[in-house]
Every structure is written in C-alpha cells, then in structure tokens.
C-alpha cells in the first residue's frame, strides 16, 4: 500500500468510528451516568448530585405512567411478532415463488419501509379521520381512531405494522433466495409437501434470519416513538416508554436524570437481544 492508500484507509476507519462514538456511544454512556444523578438540565452537569438508584426506584414505584407504558410496549411487541411478522414471512414465500408481477408487488409492499414513521402517522391520519377518513366511510361510523383511548393504541399498531410487514418481507425474501435449491429438491423427492418443506427444511435453515427478525421486532417495539408522538405526544392511552423519556428529558418537567433512568432501562432490554443476535452470528461464522 502506498502512503496515500494508508491515509485513505485510516480516514475510512477513523471517521465512521468517531461519528459512532460521538453520536451513539458517548450519549448512551452519558445517559447511563446521568441516570444516577438529580440533574434537571439547568446549570452545568458538574452541579448534578449523585442519588444512587433513587431514579430507578421512583420509576418503578412513584411514576404511575411507567407500567402502563411498559404494558403498551409489550402489546406493541406481541402484535408485531404474532401478526405482522408472520404476514411479512407469508408474503416473502409468495414472492419467492416468482408469481406474475412479483417485482411490482415487492416494490409496492416495500414502499412504506422507506417512509419515516412520522410520515406514516400522517398518511394513516387520512384513513383514521373521524369525519373524512376512509375507514369510517367504509364502516359507516364516526369513530376518532387516533383520539379515542379505547382504539388509538391498536390504530397506531396497525399503522406501524404497515411498515414492519414490508421490512420483514424483505429480510425473509433475502433469506429464501440464499437457501440451497438442492434441499427443496431432496424434500420433494422424499414426498414432502410445500408446507412440510418450508417448515421442516427451509425455515430451520434460515435460523440467522429468524434471529435478526426477532431482534429487529423487539427493538422496533421498544423505540416506537415517531408515530405515537405525531398522534398525541404519547398521551391519552398511547403512553410508551420512549415518549415518557422524551417528556421528562426535553419536556416541561426537565428531569434529565429521571428520564435517563428510563432510557437506560430501554438500553438494557435492547442490549440483551442484541447480545443474543451477536452470539448467534459469531457461532454461525465459526461453524463455517
């Protein structure tokens, strides 16, 4: 390598590393450190006093919105994992069979993935509108799907599932393309049906994809924020942990330490599943 090559390679490694450290790791570690203080965002950080695990205790015992928010996140996770993910996998199987116009269907189903959740919230607002919404026009009702606390959580889940299905479809479609065709041929020779071939041969082979889907679904359910914030800023039955963190950190309350404690809880839960994913990937690489 020439001197210029070494400089270019060094910059290609150093610049992304510094960006990740500055935008991801330092703020994350800073949030963990602040979660053990009473800093309210006023004055220098050096003025903050350590309070130990007081913020975590208050989150669990003296903050009523926390447990409903955690329950909503779990409902969000269950809906994405039990309903949206299987639908995405089913669509991937159909498209993998190279049906007519499969390229068009794939593009149409993937289109919501490139949209932000905030924009998806505005799009579905046209569908959920009480007076001029498509859903009420079809059902002949006048329900405020985003405003009614009995329905708004489910309405938001349906909207985010629109995006999640396309993402899961793409992941499984990539996994199906990578499956060795000889496995399916061997199963067909043994007299296995298409359903048996998929669940007993193809699906187990896609174990890394399954782990990725699990991790993505969990993280998506934990970091659900944009769409809910657009709807009503996480109030009136739409409380989520991410919205509570935002309300405490940048809201009128300005309880940086308290909000950081909830953010750290999210970080710990996400890290567990990320560790599982990394373990599986490393294990698969070693077996190869």
Q: Is residue 246 part of a domain?
A: yes
Residue 207, pLDDT score: 81
Read off the pLDDT of each residue in 119-138 and give the average, rounded to a whole number.
86
Q: Is residue 80 part of a domain?
A: yes
Evaluate if residue 253 carries a pLDDT over 70: no
Give the whole-number percent of the chain exceeding pLDDT 90.
Answer: 25
When pLDDT is cut at 50, 70 and 90, the band that residue 85 belongs to is very high
233 torsion bin: left (phi>0), alpha (psi -120 to 50), beta (else): left
| Per-residue pLDDT tens digits for 211-234 | 888 888 888 888 788 888 888 888
The count of structural domains within the chain is 1
With CA atoms as reference, report the closest residue to 134 among 158, 99, 112: 158
User: Rounded mean pLDDT of the chain?
Assistant: 86
Q: Is residue 16 part of a domain?
A: no
Q: Is residue 7 part of a domain?
A: no
Q: Is residue 24 part of a domain?
A: no
Q: Do 37 and 50 contact (CB within 8 A), yes or no?
A: yes
Task: Concatenate the DSSP letters of all residues of 168-190 into one string.
Answer: HHHHHHHHHHHS-HHHHHHHHHT
Read off the pLDDT of each residue in 99-106 and give the average, rounded to a whole number.
82
* Residue 193's CATH number: 1.10.3720.10
Task: Concatenate the DSSP letters of all residues of 26-55 into one string.
Answer: HHHHHHHHHTTB---SSS-GGG--B-TTHH
What does the alpha-carbon distance between residue 98 and residue 103 come to, in Å, rounded to a whole number?
A: 9
What does the alpha-carbon distance between residue 149 and residue 278 come to, in Å, rounded to a whole number?
A: 38
What does the alpha-carbon distance between residue 129 and residue 147 come to, in Å, rounded to a whole number?
A: 9
Q: Is residue 150 part of a domain?
A: yes
Read off the pLDDT of each residue in 186-198 and give the average, rounded to a whole number.
82
When pLDDT is cut at 50, 70 and 90, the band that residue 288 belongs to is low
Residue 14, pLDDT score: 93
Q: Do 225 and 269 contact (CB within 8 A), yes or no?
A: no
Q: Do 238 and 153 contact (CB within 8 A), yes or no?
A: yes
Evaluate if residue 252 carries a pLDDT over 70: no
Q: Is residue 14 part of a domain?
A: no
3-state helix, strand and coil shares in percent for the chain, rounded to the nearest 5: 75, 0, 25
- Return the residue matching tokens 């949209």: 115
Residue 223, pLDDT score: 79
Q: Do 198 and 176 contact (CB within 8 A), yes or no?
A: no
Give the whole-number percent of the chain exceeding pLDDT 70.
Answer: 98
Evaluate if residue 56 carries a pLDDT over 90: yes
What are phi and psi for residue 24, nearest 5 degrees? -120, -65
Q: Structural domain of residue 70, as residue ranges?
A: 50-287
Give how far the C-alpha of residue 144 lies from the chain's centroid of Cα atoms, to the nearest Å: 26
Residue 109, pLDDT score: 87
The dihedral of CA 36, 39, 45, 46: what is its sign? negative
Residue 135 neighbours by CB distance under 10 Å: 17
What does the alpha-carbon distance between residue 160 and residue 261 come to, in Å, rounded to a whole number?
A: 26
More confident residue, 251 or 262: 262
Query: In this structure, what token pair is assigned to residue 254?
Result: 């300005």
Q: Is residue 38 part of a domain?
A: no
């Amino acid at each position: 390598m020439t001197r210029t090559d070494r400089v270019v390679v060094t910059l290609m490694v150093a610049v992304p590393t510094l960006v990740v450290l500055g935008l991801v790791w330092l703020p994350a570690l800073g949030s963990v450190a602040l979660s053990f203080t009473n800093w309210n965002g006023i004055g220098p950080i050096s003025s903050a006093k350590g309070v130990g695990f007081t913020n975590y205790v208050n989150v669990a015992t003296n903050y009523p919105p926390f447990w409903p928010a955690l329950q909503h996140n779990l409902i969000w996770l269950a809906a994405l994992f039990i309903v949206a993910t299987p639908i995405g996998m089913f669509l991937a199987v159909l498209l993998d069979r190279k049906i007519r116009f499969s390229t068009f269907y794939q593009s149409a189903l993937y289109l919501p993935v490139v949209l932000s959740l905030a924009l998806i919230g505005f799009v579905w607002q046209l569908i959920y509108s009480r007076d001029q919404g498509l859903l009420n026009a079809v059902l002949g009702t006048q329900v405020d799907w985003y405003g009614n606390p009995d329905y708004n959580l489910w309405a938001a889940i349906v909207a985010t599932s629109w995006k999640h299905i396309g993402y899961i479809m793409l992941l499984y479609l990539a996994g199906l393309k990578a499956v060795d065709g000889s496995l399916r041929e061997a199963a067909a020779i043994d007299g296995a049906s298409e359903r048996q071939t998929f669940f007993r041969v193809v699906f187990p082979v896609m174990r890394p994809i399954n782990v990725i889907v699990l991790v993505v679904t969990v993280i998506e359910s934990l970091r659900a924020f944009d769409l809910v914030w657009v709807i009503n800023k996480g109030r009136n039955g739409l409380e989520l942990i991410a919205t509570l963190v935002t309300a405490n950190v940048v809201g009128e309350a300005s309880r940086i330490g308290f909000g950081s404690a909830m953010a750290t809880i999210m970080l710990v839960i996400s890290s567990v599943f990320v560790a599982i994913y990394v373990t599986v990937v490393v294990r698969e690489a070693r077996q190869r």
